[in-house]
Amino acid sequence: MTAETLTVSPIPVGAAHGLAKNLKVFYSKYEIAANVEDGDIFQLGYLPKNVMVCGAVLVCDDIDTGTEVLDMDLGWAANGGGSATYTDPETGLSYTNSGASASAAGFINGGVLTGDGIAELHTGNQRIQFFVDPLFFSEKTMVQIEANVAANSFAAGGAAVYLIYYAI
C-alpha cells in the first residue's frame, strides 16, 4: 500500500473567517400545549439580516407517545429579500438569499420523531444538520417548525431549535 498525501487550501485567518470566525447561536423553544395537527406552524423568532447559517439542531420532547407518526420539519418563512447575493471577499464564492422563498424543511427535514432514544446515547427526537455551503439570508427571517403529520397520541412538551450562524 502506498501512502497518499492530500492537500487542502489553507484556512483563512481574518476578522470574519477561518479561526477568527465569530459564530453565534440562535436559540428558541416553543412549549406545545395542544395536539399537533398536520400543517401547524410554530414561529420561533427571527434570524437577523445578512447572516450565513452553518448548521441546525431540532430537539423535541416525546410529544407523540405510543406508536409515533408525528413528522416535524425546521425551515423559514419568505423574507422578502428577493434574489439578493453575497460574494465572500476571501473565497470569491457567491451565495444567493435562501430566504427569497419559504422553505418548510430548509434547515431540517425531521421525518418521524420517534421519541424513543437510547438512554445516555442519543435522543430519538433530535435532528442535527450541517451544510456543505452555508445558507445566506439577506433579510430578517422568521424561523419556524412545521408539522407534516398529526400526532398519534399527543403529550404536551417542548420543541427547541439551535441555529449556528455568523454575520457578514
- pTM (whole model) above 0.85: no
Residue 116 has pLDDT above 90, yes or no: no
* 83-109 exposure pattern, b = at least 16 Cβ within 10 A, e = fewer: ebebebeeeeeebebbbbeebbbbbbb
| Residue pLDDT, tens place only, 43-86 | 999 999 999 999 999 988 888 887 888 889 999 999 988 999 99
| 105-119: average pLDDT | 75
Those residues whose C-beta lies under 8 Å from the C-beta of residue 96, and which sit 6 or more positions away, are 83, 84, 85, 136
If one counts every other C-beta atom within 10 angstroms of the C-beta of residue 70, the result is: 26
pLDDT band at 99 (very low <50, low <70, confident <90, very high): very high
* % of the chain surpassing 90 pLDDT: 52
